[in-house]
Structure 1
Amino acid sequence: MKKRVVQIFGFLISSLGWLFVLCSMAMDYWRITQIGGQAGSYIIKVAWYWSNLWKDCFTDSTAVSNCRDFAVLWSVTPFVQGVRGLLMCGLTLAFFAVVLCFLGMECTYIGGSNKTKDKMLFSGAVLHFAGGVSSIAGYCLYINRVARVAFAPVVERGVLRYDLGPPIFLGLVGCFLIYLGAVFYAATVCCVIFPKSKVVYAYPGGTYVVPRSRGKTYTGYYRPDWQYNSYLASRQSSSSKISNLSQTTPTKMSDRDAFV
């Protein structure tokens, strides 16, 4: 029962994490900057420049937005192209991970035997971890590009210093939930898939049998090697000779001694 609860909890957490990553790809304001908004005049003029993975936009003080969609796939800015690819790769791995984990959970009655289900669940946890690494790499690439311009001492004329928007933080939280769900999955099956080696003591004197393969236990008595057998045989033969010599053999008495 405890194993089922942990697996269900891991499934919910990892699925919620991937939902956060998926929503962040469609959200606006990946980076945003504000121009104007200073006092000193009767009309305070302010404008916002923001962009996401699909377009660049400008919003004025009247809440009117003018957007420019990115061009075709091969003419997009390289770092945006890389972020898209990493996030899509992570989501693709997540699809197969969710399917494997759903089939491998103990509370589902499909997927085969318990051993097969445990292997499927462990494979799903590995795919979750790999997809999370791909997603967080995409977010880090975007953060690095924005921070490099924002903290640069000197920038060219016309280059804006952007701040990070809410989708970045939502995606990072989603990656953390994905890792946490993968840990829950692996904790329920790692002891079953990778059991510890066992040592079976055959004699109380300390002679033991070491298993030759992981996860298998060998029972039975320990059979010494041929050198040990030869040593016992030689010792037994020498002791038998000494015992034979120590025995007294009866002698035949002569007629004179019998007469006396």
Structure 2
Amino acid sequence: MSAIVETVGFFFGVSGSVMLGITLFNANWRVSSVDGNVITTSTLFENLWMSCATDSTGVYNCRDFQSLLALSGYLQASRALMISSLVFGLFACLCGMIGLQCTKVADGNAALKGKFATVAGALSIFAGLCAGISISWYAFNITSEFFNPLYPGTKYEIGPALYLGWSGALLDIVGGALMCCSYKQVTKSKSKYTYNYRSTNTASAAKPAPQTALPRYESSNSISKYGKNAYV
């Protein structure tokens, strides 16, 4: 049963990492809102790297953010967290391929494979947490600007890329938890003690043979039982 749980967890982790990779390069992290906007023929949408605009005819133009230091602090932190999430996800996939019981890598060493599976699960959980924090922080700023009546700039709404990212982060966390729970620690077999003992035959062979009892008349003490005249 643990092999099935481990395989499902690995599949969830890989799927979550792929979804997070798609989320990172998706341009629809936030989309301009039509609520209270007098210009409805064009739509603005942004992600962590660029800002784009499209009109009703489908023509759009994108502009990369020129300066890293000119960006907001939460945007820089979101970039770092998403990249860290993808790095953790990559190492989780590599360790998971070694730790899976159905693979032939390190076959015969159950303890080593279990440790690799646990490390893969922990890395997958870290990847999901990093991505979840990044996406949630970005979404929090979108909602705070939208509901702030004094905000002078363009108001945005949560884009479809964030929902995809939340799903990927959840899959990473669930998959990592399943891989960690599937680990069964291998108990070391007790050492066998060998006792040095003599077998019955050996003991009997080593023991000196008892002397054969002499007849009474051949005994060394038998001469004392007769008088000296008996030999004359």
- Measured against the shorter chain, the TM-score band is 0.7 to 0.9
- Aligned equivalents of 2:12, 2:84: Cα separation in 1: 20
Q: Secondary structure at the match of 1:68?
A: strand
Structure-2-length-normalised TM-score? 0.74
Q: Secondary structure at the match of 2:105?
A: coil
Quote the offset at 1:133 in angstroms.
Answer: 1.0
Gaps of 5+ in 2: 192-232
Quote the offset at 1:52 in angstroms.
Answer: 1.1
- Aligned equivalents of 2:121, 2:93: Cα separation in 1: 9
Between the two proteins, the alignment pairs up a number of residues equal to 191
Letter of the 1:115 counterpart? A
Gaps of 5+ in 1: 196-214, 219-260
* Paired residues of 1:94 and 1:128 also in contact (CA < 8 A): yes
Answering whether residue 7 of structure 2 is matched by residue 12 of structure 1, we say: no
Quote the offset at 1:153 in angstroms.
Answer: 3.0
Match of 2:163 in 1: 169
Quote the offset at 1:62 in angstroms.
Answer: 2.0
* 1:67-106 alignment, distance < 5 Å: 67-106=62-101
Answering whether residue 19 of structure 2 is matched by residue 25 of structure 1, we say: no
- Aligned equivalents of 2:104, 2:91: Cα separation in 1: 19
Report the structure number with the largest CA radius of gyration.
2
Structure-1-length-normalised TM-score? 0.66
Match of 1:126 in 2: 122
- Aligned equivalents of 1:217, 1:53: Cα separation in 2: 57
* Paired residues of 2:33 and 2:155 also in contact (CA < 8 A): no
* 1:106-255 alignment, distance < 5 Å: 106-111=101-106, 113-156=109-152, 159-189=153-183, 191-192=184-185
Q: Secondary structure at the match of 1:28?
A: coil
Letter of the 1:29 counterpart? N
Letter of the 1:90 counterpart? S
The one of the two structures with greater contact order (alpha-carbon pairs below 8 A, sep at least 6) is 2
Quote the offset at 1:45 in angstroms.
Answer: 5.5
* Cα-to-partner distance string for 1:184-208 (whole Å, 9 max, x where unaligned): 111211x426x8xxxxxxxxxxxxx
Quote the offset at 1:34 in angstroms.
Answer: 4.1
